[in-house]
């Protein structure tokens, strides 16, 4: 929907196993800072970023739109899954992250997809996109032998599961601008899919009657 400034509001949730780098990406995107050591998120952290005048395609023509994106960094630990599911509700975009140096985090993608599907079906939301993102590319640059999931595997998983492939990234090496550009592409894709519906829900139509209509409408009950 749109806010009072006519900015379109979207909700994005970060999901994935614990320690895949959700919080480091979240903080780099929202503060520009990288912390090599972060405490595991307990429950959910929320922040908002803005995009001004992003060019989107509507019916074959370019239009500039502005967005307020609410970002939710969720805990990956099993004991916090119930809390996490509550915050998936209403999400327009899901950023599903795995660690390219840890195969188990990649194998758990389908488990996460089942949780997302179940949750959003309960919420009766079918208009959302999931972006799959491989993190910790910087560790591969230091030692190629640490890679456990190839780029091709990530691309294939996205294709097989009907996800948007975000590619591989590094919360350490990517700049705040790099991440904003990456997420801007997701914003555009979601808007081009559901944006008109979002805006339509916020439109209120007021019918103003003329003085004659008002008089005609005042009829006594029998």
pLDDT digits (tens, 9 = 90+) for 91-109: 899 999 999 999 999 999 9
Note the CATH number of domain 8-217.
Answer: 3.40.50.300
Nearest to 167 by CA among 180, 150, 184, 142: 150
Domain positions in the chain are 8-217
Residue environment code for 60-92, b if the CB has 16+ CB neighbours within 10 A, otherwise e: eeeeebebbbbbbbbbbeeebeeebbebbeebb
Separation of alpha carbons 18 and 171, rounded Å: 15
Query: Tokens 């090496």 belong to which residue?
Result: 173
- Mind listing the pLDDT tens digit for each residue in 110-166? 988 988 887 776 555 667 899 999 999 999 999 999 999 999 999 999 999 999 999
- Report the first-to-last Cα separation within the chain, whole angstroms: 45
Q: pLDDT (tens digit, 9 = 90+) per residue, 137-150?
A: 999 999 999 999 99
Q: What is the mean pLDDT of residues 76-91?
A: 63
Averaged over 22-39, what is the pLDDT? 80
Q: What is the pTM for the complete model shown?
A: 0.79
Q: What whole-number distance in Å separates Cα of residue 91 and Cα of residue 143?
A: 36
Under DSSP, is residue 28 helix (H, G, I), strand (E, B) or coil? helix
Beta strand ranges found along the chain (DSSP E): 8-15, 44-58, 61-74, 93-99, 129-135, 164-168
User: What is the per-residue pLDDT for 61?
Assistant: 87
């Amino acid at each position: 929907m749109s806010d009072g400034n006519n900015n379109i509001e979207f909700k994005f949730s970060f999901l994935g196993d614990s320690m895949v780098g959700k919080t480091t990406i979240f903080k780099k995107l929202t503060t520009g800072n990288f912390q090599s050591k972060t405490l595991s998120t307990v429950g959910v952290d929320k922040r908002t970023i803005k995009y001004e005048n992003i060019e989107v395609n509507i019916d074959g023509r370019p239009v500039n739109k502005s967005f307020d994106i609410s970002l939710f960094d969720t805990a990956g630990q099993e004991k916090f899954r119930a809390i996490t599911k509550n915050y998936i509700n209403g999400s327009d975009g899901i950023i599903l992250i795995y660690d390219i140096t840890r195969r188990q985090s990649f194998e758990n993608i389908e488990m996460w997809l089942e949780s997302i599907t179940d949750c959003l079906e309960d919420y009766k939301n079918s208009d959302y996109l999931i972006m799959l993102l491989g993190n910790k590319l910087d560790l591969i640059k230091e030692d190629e032998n640490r890679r456990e999931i190839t780029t091709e595997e990530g691309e294939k998983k996205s294709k097989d599961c009907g996800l948007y492939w975000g590619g591989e990234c590094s919360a350490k090496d990517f700049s705040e601008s790099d991440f904003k550009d990456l997420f801007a592409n997701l914003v555009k894709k979601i808007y081009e899919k559901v944006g008109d519906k979002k805006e339509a829900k916020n439109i209120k139509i007021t019918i103003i009657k003329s003085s004659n209509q008002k008089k005609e409408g005042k009829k006594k009950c029998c």
